[in-house]
Amino acid sequence: MDSFFEEGSLVAVLTTQPLDRTLDYKAPAGGCFEGAYVEVPLGPRKIMGVVWGPGRGDFDIAKVRSVIRVLDVTPMQAELREFLQRAGDYTLTPMPAMLRLATRAPGLSEAPSLRKIYRLGDVEPDRMTDPRRRVLEVLREIGGLAYTLGELAEAAGVTSSVIKGLAKQGAVREEEAPRDVAFARLDPERGGKTLTADQEAAAQVLREAIASGRYGTTLLKGVTGSGKTEVYLEAVAACLRKGRQALVLLPEIALTAEFLTRVEARFGARPAEWHSGVTMTERRRVWKQVSQGGAQLVVGARSALFLPFRDLGLTIVDEEHDTSYKQEEGALYNARDMAVLRASICAGQVVLASATPSLESWANADAGKYRRLDLVSRFGASVMPEMGAIDMRGQELPSNRWVSPALAAQVRARLEKGEQAMLFINRRGYAPVTICRACGHQIGCPHCDARMVEHRFLQRLVCHQCGETIPKPSECPECHAEDKLAAVGPGVERLAEEAAELFPEARLAVLSSDLFASARALKDEIETIASGGADIIIGTQLVAKGHNFPHLTLVGVIDSDLGLQGSDLRAAERTFQLMRQVAGRAGRAEKPGTALMQTFQPEHPVIRAILSGDEEDFWKAEAEERRAAGMPPYGRLAGIILSSTEAQEAFDLGNAMARQDGPLRRVGAQVYGPAPAPIARVRGRHRVRLLVKAPKGAALQPALTAWAAQFRLKGELRMAIDIDPQNFF
């Protein structure tokens, strides 16, 4: 039970100000509960905070000020406070930053606002016009219900002045209504699709898990199209029946539209949405309704995990292996792991769904920490694609051409049958390198240690690290030779150009995240493709993520070796996942699909595992290698990035940290480095990294904290600690 603080007693208030502690205040008139959102004075300002517990009492009591007021929002529950605290401790994120994650909705401190709504009035207008008649008809159709001004104007196809005119006469009634209204009720009893025996067995396990009312995590592994979504919607239904809330996390906003439609078909109404495409007023509505129980289901991006759920019973992490679940700036957390943490605190269930799980989740299931459910076959007549390699060593290709004759022949065969083909390349832009043929100079970013990538569509060179763009120069910046700059290597735009030459009769669709002005435009394009509005789809990583293209029967992977070259710990795992995902796009409907991988190393173990389809063998081999090396998930890693405008400063600190490693050695951890980070300069800051490796059971976070506390960050120096790093840049 949350404690209550009488008026005048000392309370500790956590704010989002970058301070390393809570601040003491006196409880206001009427007192306040632990967890209450309050407004407090700080210097000349008023700021928002949360009552975090009894005051520390280490301020001069005469100077302690009073809480100004308790805000009219549901207090933060003990469960969320504990979650923020433990997630902050785990990721070594200061508590003010954690509180910011939990309060990312505007206007929480304002009084609940009102908006005008319009219903049918009881007077006839003095003069009837066509627009007026349409307004009244639209209102009659919805019975006693109401519209907002914008909605009504759109539905009737009139300007708002027509409605205002009617309101003045009383023909339409204008009323004030609260803005942050509850979401429509979802009905779990509407019934879903009839499940296959496999699907039903999996759904039943999840229903029982939910009925237990206890914490548990399930890895739901199933090939693309096996019905994982249908199965986890059954778990959502079970959760709603219990009166608890559910959260579905998706890795990509572009996937939400299709998913919302499925939810609406299954439960009869749309759920709450939470992602970067949601307006500020809608965010506030979602935040408030989640806290009051007026939102039963939230569909969103990783940050939805920090919403103030009243009673979170189930969290689905769809495509759980997806790297976008890792937040790489600010608070460095992995939403997949944090979902498990929150569920363990709120007695909820977690379902991690994927066709190609992360090695972490695979290992947790292997060790018995997670339940594992497998859906082994695709739903209905669709079967897994046939996989094959095209050995590029035997293919004749002119320079600056990437589609082999063998692949081109396969594409042509699909075009003749009226089916779709996809060409996949995991590189945005036109060409990764721009080189001067006169002097050999390669154009690099002025701020980063990275090459500028030509984007012909934008007619600019772009740095994929910092986003800097410059117009494509006509002369070499180094030797000033005219017209000697040449594009080297393939990107998705260049592949599109080649495809247009090879298949002049085909309709092409290019899917790359930077080619679309809005999520809406991307969604429209995806729908067009799905309904057969393109013959050849040319895409980057974006196409690998869960879209459903029923006419697609061939996927050609242009450069299967790309992901295998890096020194990244996860290169093999990433390539494996990506290839299986892309291949999973082919043949999702009745027509069988084929996936062909162009490779110069057909005998590479990862390529062989993909082709053979023996996934368990791949994971076992990969797990063995990591175990032998003491690498995650069989050991622990933390990445430390030091950055500064002065390279030497960062190196000096790195060297000092490597020498003074006592706190780490005491828990059996080792430091590697300092070394220049793989991308040694970003946005003008030099970056140096250290890697800390520890045995699995080590108390790594307290050791890291004690270690880092030995050093003072002077001037421009910054330190970021990344627990369980995903990327090594």
Contact residues: Zn ion, CB under 5 A: 445, 447-448, 463, 465-466, 468
* CB of 213 or CB of 467, closer to Zn ion: 467
- Count of residues touching ligand ADP (by CB under 6 A): 14
How would you write 541-584 as a 3-class SS string? Answer: HHHHCCCCCCCEEEEEECCCCHHHCCCCCCHHHHHHHHHHHHHC
Strands 10-15 and 4-5, by their bridges, are: unpaired
The DSSP bridge partners found for residue 42 are 45
Among 48, 97, 195, 621, contact with ligand ADP (rule: CB under 6 A): 195
* CB of 99 or CB of 537, closer to ligand ADP: 537
The minimum distance between CB 467 and Zn ion, in angstroms, equals 7
d(CA 538, CA 502): 13
The minimum distance between CB 460 and Zn ion, in angstroms, equals 13
d(CA 345, CA 583): 38
Strands 297-300 and 272-274, by their bridges, are: parallel
The minimum distance between CB 558 and ligand ADP, in angstroms, equals 24
Subset of 626-655 contacting ligand ADP (CB under 6 A): none
* CB of 225 or CB of 563, closer to ligand ADP: 225
How would you write 590-620 as a 3-class SS string? Answer: CCCCEEEEEECCCCCHHHHHHHHCCHHHHHH
> Hey, is 273 helix, strand or coil?
strand
The 441-480 site mask, x for binding ligand ADP (CB under 6 A), equals: ----------------------------------------
State the sign of the Cα–Cα–Cα–Cα dihedral 718, 719, 720, 726: positive
* CB of 468 or CB of 661, closer to Zn ion: 468
Token pair listed for 316: 């689905």
* CB of 584 or CB of 602, closer to ligand ADP: 584
The minimum distance between CB 267 and ligand ADP, in angstroms, equals 15
In the list Zn ion, ligand ADP, none, the entry touching 448 (Cβ below 5 to 8 angstroms by class) is Zn ion
d(CA 514, CA 506): 23
* CB of 377 or CB of 655, closer to ligand ADP: 377
Token pair listed for 251: 């890795």
Subset of 359-398 contacting ligand ADP (CB under 6 A): 379
* CB of 199 or CB of 404, closer to ligand ADP: 199
The 216-235 site mask, x for binding ligand ADP (CB under 6 A), equals: ------x-xxxxxxx-----
Strands 371-375 and 469-471, by their bridges, are: unpaired
In the list ligand ADP, Zn ion, none, the entry touching 503 (Cβ below 5 to 8 angstroms by class) is none
d(CA 24, CA 13): 6
Residue 438 binds to ligand ADP (criterion: CB under 6 A): no
The minimum distance between CB 673 and Zn ion, in angstroms, equals 23
* CB of 227 or CB of 489, closer to ligand ADP: 227
* CB of 327 or CB of 354, closer to ligand ADP: 354
The minimum distance between CB 362 and ligand ADP, in angstroms, equals 17
Return the amino acid letter for 628: A
**Contacts of 691 by beta carbon, 8 Å cutoff, 6+ apart:** 637, 638, 639, 640, 671, 672, 673
In the list ligand ADP, Zn ion, none, the entry touching 222 (Cβ below 5 to 8 angstroms by class) is ligand ADP
* CB of 199 or CB of 726, closer to ligand ADP: 199
Q: Which of 2, 48, 8, 56 is nearest to 28 (CA)?
A: 8
In the list Zn ion, ligand ADP, none, the entry touching 256 (Cβ below 5 to 8 angstroms by class) is none
E strands along 343-472, which residues? 349-354, 371-375, 386-391, 420-424, 433-436, 453-455, 460-462, 469-471
CB 215 within 8 A of CB 83: no
DSSP annotation string for 393-404: GG----TT--S-
Residue matched to tokens 């006419």: 551
The minimum distance between CB 445 and Zn ion, in angstroms, equals 3
In the list ligand ADP, Zn ion, none, the entry touching 75 (Cβ below 5 to 8 angstroms by class) is none
In the list Zn ion, ligand ADP, none, the entry touching 327 (Cβ below 5 to 8 angstroms by class) is none
The minimum distance between CB 226 and ligand ADP, in angstroms, equals 4
> Hey, is 150 helix, strand or coil?
helix
In the list ligand ADP, Zn ion, none, the entry touching 283 (Cβ below 5 to 8 angstroms by class) is none
Q: How many CB atoms lie within 10 A of CB 521?
A: 11
Start-to-end C-alpha separation, the chain: 45
* CB of 294 or CB of 432, closer to Zn ion: 432
The minimum distance between CB 649 and ligand ADP, in angstroms, equals 50
Q: Which of the ranges 118-126, 189-197, 423-431, 537-545 carries the binding residues for ligand ADP, by CB under 6 A?
A: 189-197
Q: Which of the ranges 83-91, 193-201, 292-300, 338-346 carries the binding residues for ligand ADP, by CB under 6 A?
A: 193-201
The minimum distance between CB 444 and Zn ion, in angstroms, equals 8
CB 673 within 8 A of CB 689: yes
Q: Which of the ranges 7-15, 195-203, 505-513, 593-601 carries the binding residues for ligand ADP, by CB under 6 A?
A: 195-203
The minimum distance between CB 671 and ligand ADP, in angstroms, equals 43
In the list Zn ion, ligand ADP, none, the entry touching 228 (Cβ below 5 to 8 angstroms by class) is ligand ADP
In the list Zn ion, ligand ADP, none, the entry touching 463 (Cβ below 5 to 8 angstroms by class) is Zn ion
The 489-528 site mask, x for binding ligand ADP (CB under 6 A), equals: ----------------------------------------
Q: Which of the ranges 127-135, 188-196, 304-312, 651-659 carries the binding residues for ligand ADP, by CB under 6 A?
A: 188-196
In the list ligand ADP, Zn ion, none, the entry touching 74 (Cβ below 5 to 8 angstroms by class) is none
Residue matched to tokens 């009226």: 418
The minimum distance between CB 379 and ligand ADP, in angstroms, equals 4
* CB of 135 or CB of 255, closer to ligand ADP: 255
Residue 673 binds to ligand ADP (criterion: CB under 6 A): no
Cα–Cα distances (Å) from 128 to 121, 147, 201, 247, in that order, read 15, 21, 62, 49
**If you ran DSSP here, which 8-state letter would residue 111 be given?**
P
d(CA 679, CA 729): 6
Token pair listed for 308: 């103030």
d(CA 643, CA 638): 16
CB 243 within 8 A of CB 283: no
> Hey, is 424 helix, strand or coil?
strand
The minimum distance between CB 228 and ligand ADP, in angstroms, equals 3
Torsion of CA 53, 54, 55, 56, to 10 degrees: -90
In the list ligand ADP, Zn ion, none, the entry touching 657 (Cβ below 5 to 8 angstroms by class) is none
Torsion of CA 147, 150, 155, 158, to 10 degrees: 120
* CB of 228 or CB of 681, closer to ligand ADP: 228
Among 74, 109, 169, 196, contact with ligand ADP (rule: CB under 6 A): 196
* CB of 69 or CB of 207, closer to ligand ADP: 207
Q: Which residues bind ligand ADP (CB under 6 A)?
A: 193-196, 199, 222, 224-230, 379
